């Protein structure tokens, strides 16, 4: 009967394509289901002392959404995540999707978690974030005027194809090396960290395809905004940027552009 053939072939396909790797104290489950970017969905199974199994994606789903610039700090987005978690009977905590299950229910629980992961990742099809920093006329004007004053040729709103999606950066300079310059001017500490993380993921996506680009960020540290840049935000920017400059000392930007 065709029903039995469908079930047999589908289960055979899953058995053939599903890969499980034994790691130290845990197991990694990979494929055959894909995220929108083409990467396999990965889940880790971690045995617990009480005999239960923790299934988790270790926060990779939300990391993926960060990487494509989706705004994630809105109440609407948080409600959507909570709804997806409830619909699949899984947990959501600290940006991680997981489920604690009995061994007897591990197959059903794995299905629920994979379904939730796929649903969350498909939020990437929503309208992409129009990053507020492109409207930050104050800091952008300062950087633009400085580049003009120093006779540095630049292109505005320069788009670069990343591994996943294209990204638009405020200024492009090609004095000695192709350089992307992005000014950031946050509203508060939380916004500074959020902007830093989004830009960090954009830098990563660019490096995957164009490792030769120099990545420069100019932070707005004028007036009260200097206090917004705490160690958390600065560490993210320093980790992924070739140069972190300050609006209060743009001479350092000139030195960077001409000293390479």
| Whether the predicted pLDDT of 130 surpasses 50 | no
Parallel, antiparallel, or unpaired for β 40-47 and 26-34? antiparallel
C-alpha span between 90 and 124 (Å, rounded): 20
Question: Are 217 and 235 within 8 A, CB to CB?
Answer: no
Q: How confident is the model at residue 181 (pLDDT cuts 50, 70, 90)?
A: very high
pLDDT digits over 26-85, tens only?
999 997 888 877 788 999 999 999 999 999 999 899 888 877 767 677 787 888 888 899
Question: Are 242 and 200 within 8 A, CB to CB?
Answer: no
Please give the average per-residue pLDDT across 216-245, as a whole number: 93
| 108 & 211 share domain | no
Question: Are 80 and 123 within 8 A, CB to CB?
Answer: yes
Q: How confident is the model at residue 218 (pLDDT cuts 50, 70, 90)?
A: very high
Q: Which domain holds residue 77?
A: 2-125
Parallel, antiparallel, or unpaired for β 154-161 and 96-101? unpaired
Three-state DSSP state, 255: helix
Residues contacting 209, CB < 8 A, separation 6+: 161, 162, 163
Which domain-ending residue is among 83, 101, 125?
125
Q: With 0-12 CB in 10 A as exposed, 13-18 as middle and 19+ as buried, what is 7? A: exposed
CATH number reported for the structural domain that contains residue 244 in this entry:
3.40.1350.10
| Whether the predicted pLDDT of 132 surpasses 50 | no
Which domain-ending residue is among 125, 160, 194?
125
Question: Are 77 and 84 within 8 A, CB to CB?
Answer: no
Percent of the chain with pLDDT over 70: 93
Mean pLDDT, the chain, rounded, equals 86
More confident residue, 241 or 14: 241
pLDDT digits over 143-167, tens only?
999 999 999 999 998 888 887 777 8
Q: Which helix (H) or strand (E) holds 155?
A: strand 154-161
Count how many domains the chain has: 2
| 46 & 145 share domain | no
């Amino acid at each position: 009967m065709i029903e039995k053939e469908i079930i047999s072939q589908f289960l055979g396909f899953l058995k053939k394509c599903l890969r499980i790797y034994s790691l130290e104290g845990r197991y990694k489950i990979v494929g055959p289901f894909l995220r929108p970017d083409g990467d396999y969905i990965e889940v880790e199974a971690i045995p617990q002392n009480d005999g239960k199994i923790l299934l988790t994606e270790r926060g990779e789903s939300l990391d993926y959404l960060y990487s494509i610039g989706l705004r994630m700090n809105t109440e609407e987005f948080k409600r959507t995540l909570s709804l997806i978690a409830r619909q699949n009977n899984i947990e959501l905590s600290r940006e991680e999707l997981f489920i604690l299950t009995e061994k007897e229910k591990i197959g059903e629980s794995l299905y629920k978690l994979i379904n939730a992961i796929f649903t969350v990742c498909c939020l990437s099809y929503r309208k992409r974030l129009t990053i507020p920093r492109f409207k930050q006329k104050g800091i952008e004007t300062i950087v633009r005027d400085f580049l003009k004053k120093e006779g540095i040729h630049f292109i505005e709103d320069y788009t670069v194809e990343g591994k996943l999606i294209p990204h638009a950066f405020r200024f492009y300079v090609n004095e000695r090396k192709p350089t992307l310059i992005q000014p950031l001017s946050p509203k508060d500490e939380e916004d500074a960290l959020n902007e830093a993380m989004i830009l960090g993921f954009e830098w990563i996506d660019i490096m995957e395809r164009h490792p030769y680009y120099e990545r420069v960020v100019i932070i707005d540290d004028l007036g009260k905004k200097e206090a917004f840049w705490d160690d958390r935000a600065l560490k993210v920017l320093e980790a992924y940027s070739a140069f972190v400059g300050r609006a209060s000392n743009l001479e350092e930007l000139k030195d960077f552009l001409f000293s390479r």
